[in-house]
Structures are given as C-alpha cells and as structure tokens.
Structure 1
Amino acid sequence: MSTSASPLRMRVVDTDEYLDVRPARLVVAGYTARDEAAARRHIEELAAIGIPPPATVPAFYDLDPSLLTTERSVAVDGEATSGEVEPVVIRHGDRLFLAVGSDHTDRERERLDITSSKAACPKPLGTDVIELDAGTDPPNWEHLTAESAIDGHPYQSGPLSALRHPRELLHRMTSAIGDVAGDLVLFCGTLPLLTGDFVYGSRWLLSIELPGGPSLTHDYTVHQRSS
C-alpha cells in the first residue's frame, strides 16, 4: 500500500485559506448509522443479496491514499459501479476539517470482498472544506443534511445526525486499526438510498447543506477505462 499521495489542494470556505493536504492514510468507514438496530438490518439486507457481513460495526477499510481524487472525471472498470454522498473528515496537522466525498464502489466485487470492491474505484472528494471546532462535535452537526443525485435523479437525502459523529468515528478507528502520523482522510459513512437499490449511471452530484452557511458540493462523471 502507498504511504502517501499527491497533494490535494483544499479551500477553507469561510476564510478562503488554502491547504495542501498530503494524505498518509485513507480510511473508509462503513455501517456507521447511529441507530445500531438499523445498522444490523442493513447488514442483513446486504447479506440477502450476497454481500458478506463486516468483521466489526462500524467497519473500517484501510485503503491506498492514491485513490483520492478531486478531479471531476474518473475512470472505472466495469459497468456496475456506484457512488454515495459521505461526510469526510480531513486531519491536516493538528486541525480537523469537514468535506464532502463519494465512496465509489464496484458492486460486483462487493459480493466477493468489500475491501477489494472499494479499492477498485477512485474516491472523489470536493475541494471546499469547513474547519471543525475544538469541541466534541462539528458545528451544528445535528442540523446538517446531505443529498446525492445520479444523472439528475435524487438518490439520497437526509440528516447527518443519523450517522455517528466524526470524532466518535476517529476514536473508534484508532481503537480498531491504529493511527498514523501525517494527514488522514476518513470517509464517515452514508445515508440510505431513496430507491433501496443501487443505481448505475454517469454523473454524480453530492452536497452537504450547512445551516446559515455555504454548502459543500462536488460533482463528477464516470467513464469506462479503455481496454
């Protein structure tokens, strides 16, 4: 696994400060619903279609940081891939920031091995971030909402309060797989699909709405790699 990735140029939206984030570690968290019963039901639903259950809940998948991209066009293998909107915590130095990203995943491989399915696709990431305060939770976490759309059709929508707080996930991640010096990018899980089924398409739109402030947004398109 790579120990570093190309710098990611990020903008702090409320101060217009620019950061050069050099991820030493990329971790994607799964099954992060605050409602543990709901998380168990989701695991059972996935098991019914052949996706193996995780070893721990929440689950943490340690991936190559070079998968991260802020580009608006990404290449994938196969047709059965899909994204999803996620809050993303970026640790840069001794500061924490919130961004929006997509855990784009190969759904065919997911039936065989979840880590491999996640490692098979780039991880799109928006370049705008907000800094998290020094308290326990991000500012107004209980009032943040997230949405995604695919090819112009609504795909996900709901409050981020349905997910575990990022600082809790950071603590659990460290307990589960250890920590590392340097910049960290942690994808914090996602919301249920409005349709209940994966949808495959070309253009993805992601947003996290901040009450009384700017939205964190990103959009990207996917295309098949040339043979």
Structure 2
Amino acid sequence: MPAETLTFRTLSGSAIESRPIVLKAVAVALWTSRDMSGRDRRVAEMEALGIPRPRTTPQFYRVSAHRLTTSDCIEVVGPESSGEVEIVLVRDGRGLWVGVGSDHTDRRVERCDVHVSKQMCDKPLAPDLWAFDDVADHWDQLVLRSWIAENGETRLYQEGTAAAILPAVTLIAGYAGRDDLPEGTALFCGTFAAIGGIRSSGRFAFELYDPQRERRIAHAYDVVALPVAP
C-alpha cells in the first residue's frame, strides 16, 4: 500500500520528540457540524458555490497519503481553490495524536464531483502533534482559526471551537467502524463556515489553540495557481 512518511514534533505530557510517522490512509470528513444550525450554515455555504446538498451526514472521503505535506507552499490548478482549517487525528504505533491541517480543495471540480475535488489538492499539515490524552478532557474548548490574505491585509477567515464539530470518538467510529483509528491513518475532522463566505487566497494560515494549557499549533502556506490550459 502506498504510504507517506512525515516527520512531526510530538508532545506528550512534557516529553517532546521529533519522529517520523508513516501514514498509509488519509480520510477527510465532511458535514460534521454537531448542531443542525451549524450544519445548515455549512450546507448553505456550499450550495452557494453550486455544490449539492448531501443525502446523509457526516460523509468520509479517502484521499492519497501522498497528498499530505508539511510544506509552506502548494501548487494548484487555476484560481478556484481554497483552504479550510480542521483538526486532524493521527494514529501510529504509539497512540492517537491531535494536529491541525487544511483540507485544501478545488472548488471548481467540487461542483462536479466532491470526492475528486478532495484528491486534486495537497493537504497541508502543521508539523506538530499533541497526544490525544492530553486534550481529551477539555476537547470542546480547543479553538480553530484560519486567516487569508485579501486586499493586502490578513483577514480572519474561520473561528470556532471543537464543540461545533462532532466529537472525535464519533468521527472515528463513523469512519473506522470501531473505537480507534487503524495504525497509519490520518483523519481530517471537518470544519465550519467561513466568515464572509468561501473564497480563494494566495496565502492560508491556521492554528489550533488549547486555552487550558495555553499552547498552540500553527502553520501557514502559500498557494501558487498554475495556469489552466485553454
């Protein structure tokens, strides 16, 4: 099975370690809002782009492990793609880890085929992970934020807490059909609506903030749009 090896800085308790993790399976979860109002806002946002309402929620889509990257730059085809901040669960032989990434998606393709659109773009990850056990008891307090570059300014694009997203255990069970992810799996946990609507940007920054431990994981990347052939 194809796999991607990425080096992360893992933090468990007070122990910090730099170590490679082999990832063999990657899935992105969609329509994961915990309450109906949040789900309706997300559905309306996607329908405004011409993306049809889902028949069931949540949904899980597999993408290639080779799409994962910790780079600070990605290349996309054309100008119609955008990022979205998501908690990412990573399972290796030592346990379950929590990180943050961007489910960067080709919105033009998404109007035709959601699954294909998820495969079109690299999925940037911050190179840091926390032990799941270190945040499990205050999971809903975790804060997600993202920013875009727009009109020469950095603008807040998304902001919310993990309480707006289905619990990690629910998403794991929904995807894996059991109470833990298989070893070598990364699961993007879904997101919430953008402030001002979904739009493209040449730079996308994001973070996961833990207010109880007063620490954050942050990353940013540039988006290079390749020309579309006539």
* Richer in strand (by share): 2
* Structure 1 match to 2:208: 208
* Structure 1 match to 2:220: 219
TM-score (norm 1): 0.89
What does the per-residue CA deviation read over 1:167-186, in whole Å, with 9 as the maximum and x for residues that have no partner? 2100111239xx98540000
Letter of the 2:219 counterpart: H
SS in 2 for 1:171: helix
SS in 2 for 1:200: coil
Per-residue deviation at 1:10?
Answer: 0.7
* Structure 1 match to 2:28: 28
Residue 175 of structure 1 pairs with residue 173 of structure 2: no
Per-residue deviation at 1:94?
Answer: 4.8
* Structure 2 match to 1:193: 194
Point out where structure 2 has 5 or more consecutive residues left out of the alignment. none
* Structure 2 match to 1:58: 58
Per-residue deviation at 1:159?
Answer: 1.3
Question: Structure 1 residues 109 and 139, CA, compared in 2 at 3 Å: closer, same or farther?
Answer: same
TM-score (norm 2): 0.88
* Structure 1 match to 2:127: 127
Q: Distance in 2 between matches of 1:62 and 1:153?
A: 31
* Structure 1 match to 2:6: 8
| Count of equivalent residues | 220
Residue 100 of structure 1 pairs with residue 100 of structure 2: yes
Q: Distance in 2 between matches of 1:144 and 1:10?
A: 20
SS in 2 for 1:140: helix
The share of aligned pairs that are identical, in percent, is: 33
What does the per-residue CA deviation read over 1:17-47, in whole Å, with 9 as the maximum and x for residues that have no partner? 1231111100000100000353245335533
Per-residue deviation at 1:188?
Answer: 0.2
Contact 2:45/2:198 (<8 A) preserved: no
Letter of the 1:12 counterpart: T
Q: How large is the Cα RMSD of the aligned pairs? A: 2.1
Letter of the 2:165 counterpart: L
Where do 4+ consecutive residues of structure 1 move more than 6 Å? none
